[in-house]
Amino acid sequence: MTEPPRAISWTGTAIQIIDQTALPTQLRVLVIDQIDDLVSAIQRLAVRGAPALGAIGGLGVVLALAQAQREGWTQATTHAAIDRIRQARPTAVNLARGVDRVRDRLADGPAAALGEALSILAENEAANRSIGAQGADWILTHVSRRPLRVLTHCNTGSLATAAYGTALGIIRALHHRDVLEIVYVDETRPLLQGSRLTAWELAADGIAHLVQPDAAAASTVLGGLVDVAVIGADRIAANGDTANKIGTLGIALACADADIPFVVAAPQTTIDLTTPTGQAITIELRDDAELLTWGDTRLAPTTTRAHNPAFDITPARLITALVTQAGVLEVAHGHRPDTTAAPGRLTVPG
Amino acid sequence: MTEPPRAISWTGTAIQIIDQTALPTQLRVLVIDQIDDLVSAIQRLAVRGAPALGAIGGLGVVLALAQAQREGWTQATTHAAIDRIRQARPTAVNLARGVDRVRDRLADGPAAALGEALSILAENEAANRSIGAQGADWILTHVSRRPLRVLTHCNTGSLATAAYGTALGIIRALHHRDVLEIVYVDETRPLLQGSRLTAWELAADGIAHLVQPDAAAASTVLGGLVDVAVIGADRIAANGDTANKIGTLGIALACADADIPFVVAAPQTTIDLTTPTGQAITIELRDDAELLTWGDTRLAPTTTRAHNPAFDITPARLITALVTQAGVLEVAHGHRPDTTAAPGRLTVPG
């Protein structure tokens, strides 16, 4: 098996990333040594994916320190730069978490900060391998058909994380166990993370797959073409409501109707116990041009405006299982992330 | 109000159409006087939409007659050409119906055939204006919020029909009654009939609208941003199951979950009583390139294949109302198109 690419690393003086906007036609590596460039890379989605953003947040603090030292920044300037990274994208809690975790170590010196940032990367990879194994175990216990046909959305692989992937980690684990028939990959408009990134990772690993329009997901599920849907998460509220790439909710509704499992895979850091329900999650509305233009081509009349939310909220009642490195919660059966918040809802899984 | 454009007409020697693949950046008119060009125009979706295809089927027979006379075809060659038109797209029943209706008049001579073909156009426009009025009446009776916020998918307007539109006809009628706030338009991948065509028609009529990714439809519905979904149909089975543009099913599932009406608008000719249920409808699988390339740009790895169904089937249980020129059937309550086929299912609408 080929090792999946490392999307994020620290060169000693800069952050190195694979530019996800150039895939699949070009494997372009960016070496970023300026905070301005990092904020821009985050905002134009050159780096994206909740766990990857956590790692980038941590390394961003290290980069701010390095640039501050080179350019003689004051402490206030340095913290303002760190805040800019922290706020580059509002919905993904991991970005802010990664920033805060490394910022908290600044008093211990640059080496401690770097160590903390690299720990985020290492811990995320370990978490993903655990998520992959436990998610595969759960699916093999709860779904009888062999080989399995899986639906996924957006990109949750080695590009979106430190390595291996979350939902795509489960898919990789199923593949390694030789029980996977095919993966249906939603193309994931408007930025095509499914067709550009997930298909690229699956092709690299030799995993059979088909890319479909996002709008086909419901009919693929109700038509009996898949046995389980496995997706990632950008933020999970205390009650289990999950913010993830726009389109996730529609898949969950289809799985509920067809009575097949809808599985969310995410590291524990994605769970935000300070957010009681999905209603408290800010949904990022992205630029019209992302949806209404393709390069220089206008796809709609010039006067037309867009509604372009980056995420949707899937209510906990639609989530069959939430897989983290700590185990599997059967959310729709009342096993919520914050079990103390709603004890009355706890029931024995069916 | 500006009159919506005539997408289909007969010049006396040729079929004239607006090339829907060139919109919204270019208003290109095609004059087609060869059956080969007509079949190609149908297959590359230069003309599309169920009722428009019915009109094109009828005019196609007239065109075959004209070309046969010019080129001295035998009767067998003429009928083979007519069959090629009839089979240019397998799912839309209207195309075959339009062909058959005019072919049945061939014995009466070319003038009778032309008259029959032009009748299809005139009847479709009359049907659409009736659908618009009755659909608007039904919605205003069943939805209390004013002004109304409507979701639609694909293009069902004057481009997709002889004139006025089906689902878009209802939207036009609501606009003319001054009760319409906004229309959420799914972009409708892969061919973008929503952002390219529906937004173009709405902009021309001065109707407020926002284009959204198809994957946003579920969250727009569950998030309380719309009061009713109104869509078209390509084929309706005797039990009410409806084939329509891929993505329709997902909207229907979201509307059922949010308990808002899901309204299907179509001329009666779209109902095919010889098709007992949706399972009997052939779903056209379209070419990979339509989804995986944009112009010369490859959107997925070169080895990646696509699952690219043009339509999905929405089961009757999810369809609140079916509006035809003959009236409104409350399908989910048991008022099915073929009430004799399943009398046990008839119940009083709630």
> How many CB pairs below 8 A link A and B?
191
pLDDT over threshold 60, residue B343: no
Distance of CA A233 to the CA centre of its chain: 6
What are the tens digits of pLDDT across the range A320-344? 999 999 999 999 888 888 754 443 3
pLDDT over threshold 60, residue A257: yes
What are the tens digits of pLDDT across the range A273-305? 999 999 999 899 999 999 999 988 999 999 999
B193 to chain A, minimum CA–CA distance in Å? Answer: 10
| 8-state DSSP, A282 | P
d(CA A31, CA A15): 6
Instruction: Annotate B101-148 with three-state secondary structure.
Output: HHHCCHHHCHHHHHHHHHHHHHHHHHHHHHHHHHHHHHHHHHCCCCCE
Nearest alpha-carbon partner for B5 in B245, B209, B200, B170: B200
The mean pLDDT value for A27-38 works out to: 95
pLDDT for res B181: 98
Tell me what ipTM this predicted complex has: 0.89
pLDDT for res B344: 32
pLDDT band at B2 (very low <50, low <70, confident <90, very high): low
pLDDT for res A346: 28
A184 neighbourhood in chain B, CB within 8 Å: 307
CA distances for B211 relative to A33, A301, A309, B203, B286, angstroms: 38, 10, 11, 11, 24
pLDDT over threshold 70, residue A82: yes
Catalytic: B205?
A: no
| 8-state DSSP, A285 | B
B250 neighbourhood in chain A, CB within 8 Å: 215, 217-219, 250, 253-254
Tell me the H-state helices in A214-327: 217-222, 248-258, 288-292
Interface test with B, best of A186, A189, A196 (most B CBs within 10 A): A189
pLDDT band at B41 (very low <50, low <70, confident <90, very high): very high
Task: Give me the residues paired with residue A16 across strands.
Answer: A9, A31
pLDDT band at B347 (very low <50, low <70, confident <90, very high): very low
pLDDT for res A3: 57
pLDDT for res B334: 84
The mean pLDDT value for B98-110 works out to: 95
The mean pLDDT value for B154-174 works out to: 95
Contact yes or no for A52/A162 (Cβ under 8 A)? yes
pLDDT band at A312 (very low <50, low <70, confident <90, very high): very high
Cβ–Cβ of B219/A313 closer than 8 Å? yes
pLDDT band at B5 (very low <50, low <70, confident <90, very high): low
The mean pLDDT value for A260-270 works out to: 94
% of chain A at pLDDT higher than 70: 95
A294 neighbourhood in chain B, CB within 8 Å: 294
**DSSP strands (E only) in chain A:** 8-10, 15-18, 29-32, 148-152, 180-186, 209-212, 228-231, 235-237, 242-245, 262-265, 271-272, 293-294, 297-298, 305-306, 311-314, 321-324, 327-329
Cβ–Cβ of B253/A257 closer than 8 Å? yes
The mean pLDDT value for A179-183 works out to: 98
Compare all CA atoms of chain A with the CA of B313 and give the residue at the minimum distance. A219
Contact yes or no for A284/A311 (Cβ under 8 A)? yes
Q: Of all helices (H) and strands (E), which one includes residue B265?
A: strand B262-265
One-letter identity of residue A130: S
| Token pair listed for A126 | 């370990």
What are the tens digits of pLDDT across the range A139-165? 999 999 999 999 999 999 999 998 899
pLDDT band at B339 (very low <50, low <70, confident <90, very high): low
B218 neighbourhood in chain A, CB within 8 Å: 247, 249-250, 253, 312
Q: Judging by beta carbons within 10 Å of its beta carbon (0-12, 13-18, 19+), is residue A224 exposed, middle or buried?
A: exposed
Cβ–Cβ of A203/B301 closer than 8 Å? yes
